[in-house]
Amino acid sequence: MLSQKAQSLKSSPTLALVSKAKDLIAQGHDVISLTVGEPDWETYPAAAQAGIDAIRSGFTKYTAAQGTIELRRAISERTKLDLNLDYNPQKEITVTSGAKFSIFSALQVLCDVGDEVIIHSPYWVSYPTMAELAGAVPKIIFCDESVNFKLTPENFEKNLNSKSKVFLFCSPSNPTGFVYSESELKALAEVLKKFPRVCVITDDMYNRLMFNKVKVAPHILQVAPFLKDRTVVINGGSKAYSMTGWRMGWAMGPEKIIKAIGDFASQSTGAPSSISQKAAEVALKTSEPDIEKTNAMLKSRLESALNKFKEIPQFKIYEPDGAFYLWINIEKALGKKYKDVVVSTSAQFGQILLEDYFVATVPGEEFGHAGYLRLSFAIESDRFNQAVDRMKSLILGMV
């Protein structure tokens, strides 16, 4: 009875792992989850209070499908301050129920059947499936350690052709936390000059969570303003503002594309939550001191995690520039037996780690790279260190 699209649909692997961890917790196990990309700190007080005030004042009805003009103005002002980019809040910004839906909608309105969406690995787990749901073909460009898990201009140009329609990327990266420098972005932009049909979707969800004394991650439009008329900029409240459950995302870009995204949303999800919009508006206007404290906390947690992992020489850890993930090469820990079974993949390792040692991680296979794990350090350091101790125990139990 299901459509072909439904039959080919994949569930989110990270959410599936979260569900499995919750099942184990319900059975009474002490599970440490390092899976989901969710801050463990509360939504900032001023934003949370704005949501409460919205409820109490009766601001609980439908808004415009593209979001309130007040929120769109706040997004425009924040973007100008962060990136020195100008977007008209009435015509070039639309608000959606989560940034994930902004990306999904952008792909829906940009892609025709058979178009190629250029995605480089390691990629966020949902990118390929979202491209497929738009009728497009995800074209994965494999980027390994030799290129610091980043797309080089040579590899980029080699994979572009007449079918290429969208280049989708994330900086800071989920899962590596690596950030494209201005020179790296400029080199990619020079390639895009040769392919005027290709649109760009930049996933900026982590661009305010930075550890290298840079307030905001460099942006491709800062070094290549000529791309502005074919670039969709995605951001939202989930990461830097710790508003995952509020479901607040937005897209900025050329008027024609943004109108299409707004129309698509109006026919699918409808208007985003009025209450969440009030909270996001205040978050954008007031949260700079909070984000500064968050980055200091995350850097402290990162330093603690890097120091703790010195106890596991079989793991190779890549220090991130931003976000809150550790990308780990575990290949030296593989190929050994655990309970008479040879553990040959990171997926196997992660399954044993969860089921026998109650630590949930995301295997590299989900990001296009076998032999790796992604761990979130958006968790108290003591708890993270307990998870590392359990990983050590697993490795010691392998022969």
Q: Which of 257, 287, 317 is the last residue of a domain?
A: 287
> Rounded CA gap, 208 and 102, in Å?
18
pLDDT number for residue 16: 75
pLDDT number for residue 11: 76
Evaluate whether 273 touches 71 at the Cβ level (below 8 Å).
no
Provide the 8-state DSSP code for 43. Answer: P
Do both 238 and 135 map to the same domain?
A: yes
> Rounded CA gap, 33 and 106, in Å?
31
Do both 255 and 351 map to the same domain?
A: no
Do both 303 and 377 map to the same domain?
A: yes
Residue 5 has pLDDT above 90, yes or no: no
Give the C-alpha distances (Å, rounded to integers) separating 160 from 57, 115, 220, 221, 232. 52, 11, 18, 20, 19
Evaluate whether 371 touches 327 at the Cβ level (below 8 Å).
no
CATH number of the CATH domain containing 364: 3.90.1150.10
For 286-296, what is each residue's pLDDT tens digit? 999 999 999 99
Residue 199 has pLDDT above 90, yes or no: yes
Q: For the stretch 147-172, what's the b/e string if a residue is b when 16 or more beta carbons lie within 10 angstroms of its beta carbon?
A: eebbbbeeebeebbeeebbbbbbbbb
Evaluate whether 35 touches 379 at the Cβ level (below 8 Å).
no
Domain count of the chain? Answer: 2
> Rounded CA gap, 20 and 330, in Å?
22
Do both 145 and 260 map to the same domain?
A: yes
Mean pLDDT estimate for the chain? 96
Do both 77 and 181 map to the same domain?
A: yes
Q: Which of 287, 322, 354 is the last residue of a domain?
A: 287
| 224 membership: H or E segment, kind and range | none
Do both 229 and 375 map to the same domain?
A: no
For 9-46, what is each residue's pLDDT tens digit? 777 776 777 788 888 989 999 999 998 789 999 999 99
Helix (H, G, I), strand (E, B) or coil at 316: strand
pTM for this model (two decimals): 0.95
Evaluate whether 130 touches 103 at the Cβ level (below 8 Å).
yes
Do both 294 and 381 map to the same domain?
A: yes
> Rounded CA gap, 333 and 336, in Å?
7
Do both 207 and 328 map to the same domain?
A: no
pLDDT band at 4 (very low <50, low <70, confident <90, very high): confident
Do both 250 and 358 map to the same domain?
A: no
Helix (H, G, I), strand (E, B) or coil at 129: helix
Do both 58 and 17 map to the same domain?
A: no
Do both 248 and 302 map to the same domain?
A: no
The whole-number average pLDDT for the span 205-227 is 96
Do both 50 and 160 map to the same domain?
A: yes
Measuring CA to CA, which residue among 324, 331, 246, 312 is closest to residue 280? 246
Q: Which of 255, 287, 319 is the last residue of a domain?
A: 287
The whole-number average pLDDT for the span 204-220 is 95
pLDDT number for residue 19: 80
Say how many residues make up the chain. Answer: 399
Q: Is the dihedral of CA 303, 304, 305, 308 positive or negative?
A: positive
Least confident of 110-114, 211-215, 331-335, 343-347: 211-215
> Rounded CA gap, 149 and 109, in Å?
29
Number of H helices, E strands in the chain: 14, 15
The whole-number average pLDDT for the span 237-259 is 98
pLDDT number for residue 304: 98
Least confident of 3-12, 209-218, 376-385: 3-12
Name every residue whose Cβ is closer than 8 Å to that of residue 23 and which is 6 or more positions away in sequence: none
What is the span of the domain harbouring residue 317?
4-42+289-396
Measuring CA to CA, which residue among 346, 396, 350 is closest to residue 371? 346
> Rounded CA gap, 284 and 237, in Å?
9
The whole-number average pLDDT for the span 167-181 is 97
The whole-number average pLDDT for the span 226-240 is 98
pLDDT band at 260 (very low <50, low <70, confident <90, very high): very high
The whole-number average pLDDT for the span 109-114 is 97
Give the C-alpha distances (Å, rounded to integers) separating 113 from 65, 131, 165, 192, 230. 27, 10, 11, 22, 19
CATH number of the CATH domain containing 163: 3.40.640.10
> Rounded CA gap, 399 and 391, in Å?
15
pLDDT number for residue 36: 79
